[in-house]
Amino acid sequence: MEFVRYAETRGPWPGERIVLLNAKGGVVGRSGAPFILQRFAVAVKPHRLAIIGRPGLSSPFGLYVGEFDAAALTKVRGLAQPSTSAEAFEPSAESLSVDWAPDGNRLAYSDGTHIHVYDCEKKIDATITGGHGVRFSPAGDRLTFITDQDEGAILDLARRDTRTGLINPKHSCAIMFGQDGLPRLG
């Protein structure tokens, strides 16, 4: 079943809940923890949540993971909060991204300047390359992303081989893999 997500503000808590919808628009679930969703990226695998943002007013900006319905998430690492000012040298919200691997154990994410892969079981965070807009392939063996030179790229994780210039991302903020394993503009 394919899920769609959106945020809602409801109740006395600070922040917003992430809501999962099924393909027919029915509510499947709401996140247990509220989030400050001014500058954020979110990835949902059924029953698991990863967010780059702030889960509550007193929490620092960073990458957090946990069960979807948990009241609190685990901080993986702190990140620089994106700027709302065009002059500030900090990552923009558009450069933040997070995506679950099909195995549901690894996360690919961009902190605004670098692509990382985090293994949730081993608790290992590896910096892979520069870039943003990262997405896993359906098999979990490759990543698509936008390089620091604004070129679309595909990285083979096993060989650490990167091919660039395959797709011009200027008309889209994300490059994704189709079910056939071929890259597409998102």
The domain made up of 38-185 has a fold known as Neuraminidase (2.120.10)
CB 155 within 8 A of CB 145: yes
The full DSSP string for 105-128 is: SEEEEEESSEEEEEETTTTEEEEE
**Which pLDDT belongs to residue 89?**
43
- State whether residue 171 is helix, strand or coil: helix
Mean pLDDT of the chain: 75
Give SS3 for 45: strand
Q: What is the pLDDT of residue 41?
A: 60
Does residue 55 carry a pLDDT above 80? no
> pLDDT for 85-119, tens place per residue?
544 444 555 678 888 898 888 999 998 889 999 99
Domain coordinates of the chain in residue numbers? Answer: 38-185
Q: Are 110 and 100 in contact (CB under 8 A)?
A: no
Phi, psi of 134 (to 5 degrees): -85, 140
Residue 100 near residue 47 (C-beta atoms within 8 A)? no
Share of the chain above pLDDT 90, in %: 15
Position 182 scores a pLDDT of 60
- Residue 119's H or E segment, with its range, is strand 114-119
Closest CA to 99 of 36, 39, 174: 174
Q: Record the pTM.
A: 0.76
Contact 20, 32 (CB under 8 A): no
d(CA 67, CA 45): 10
CB atoms within 10 A of CB 52: 28
